[in-house]
């Protein structure tokens, strides 16, 4: 008999998170971190030149920390702003302006979040969202490749992205991942409610 649980998304997530922890402790990690940050900066300087507001994430569980390079990006040009997500009880995300040094509140999942009642930090609609992947996959339909993100399973992100894309069709959503996180179809495939990424950034570059 096959162990059905072996292929459950939950087990897969745990396995991928364990691998990411080991990867983050490796010597290559620092080089790869710098490489990804440089590629992201290059993209923002060229194709993302109209981007004013970026939704960052607060890194947990060995996620790639892009805060230092994004703080630099925001300070380089007046009007550029950074936001962090706040998880609403209805499982959607709101994005509030974030500045380095702001005090944050731990969410139910223990992720540091902005305080929605802070009047000095308004809710903003991001032009670009950076989202870390636990795993990712790609699918090609009619010669067009789509990239998909395996997240933590809360569904917050897909709901939020679907809403934001209706309001802003030009929104750029960039998944942040690593080559080794790529999943094949028998490990995981995207469901109908999953929202595709616009771009995927790994050490191989920016995949579109």
> Does 63 show up as a binding residue in the annotation?
yes
Q: From CA 151, how far away is CA 137, in angstroms rounded?
A: 11
Residues 6+ apart with CB under 8 A from 39: 201, 205, 206
* Helices first, then strands: H and E counts in the chain: 4, 11
Q: From CA 161, how far away is CA 166, in angstroms rounded?
A: 9
- The 10 Å Cβ neighbour count of residue 178 is 22
For 10, 72, 119, 196, the CA distances from 186, given in Å and listed in that order, are: 15, 41, 48, 19
Q: From CA 184, how far away is CA 187, in angstroms rounded?
A: 5
Q: Which residues are annotated as a binding site for substrate?
A: 63
- Summarize the annotated binding site as residue ranges: 63
């Amino acid at each position: 008999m096959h162990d059905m649980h072996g292929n459950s998304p939950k087990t897969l997530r745990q396995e991928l998170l364990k691998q990411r922890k080991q990867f983050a402790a490796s010597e290559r990690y620092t080089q790869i971190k710098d490489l990804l940050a440089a590629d992201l900066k290059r993209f923002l300087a060229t194709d993302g030149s109209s981007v004013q507001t970026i939704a960052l994430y607060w890194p947990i569980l060995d996620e790639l920390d892009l805060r230092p390079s994004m703080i630099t990006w925001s300070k380089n040009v007046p009007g550029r702003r950074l936001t962090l997500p706040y998880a609403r009880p209805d499982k959607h995300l709101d994005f509030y302006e974030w500045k380095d040094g702001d005090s944050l509140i731990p969410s139910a999942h223990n992720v540091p979040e902005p305080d929605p009642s802070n009047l000095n930090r308004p809710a903003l609609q991001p032009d670009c969202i950076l989202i870390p992947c636990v795993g990712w996959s790609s699918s090609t339909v009619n010669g067009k490749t789509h990239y998909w993100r395996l997240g933590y399973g809360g569904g917050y992100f897909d709901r939020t992205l679907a809403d934001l894309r209706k309001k802003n069709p030009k929104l750029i959503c960039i998944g942040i991942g690593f080559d080794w996180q790529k999943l094949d179809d028998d490990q995981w495939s995207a469901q109908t409610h999953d929202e595709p990424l616009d771009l995927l950034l790994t050490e191989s570059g920016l995949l579109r």
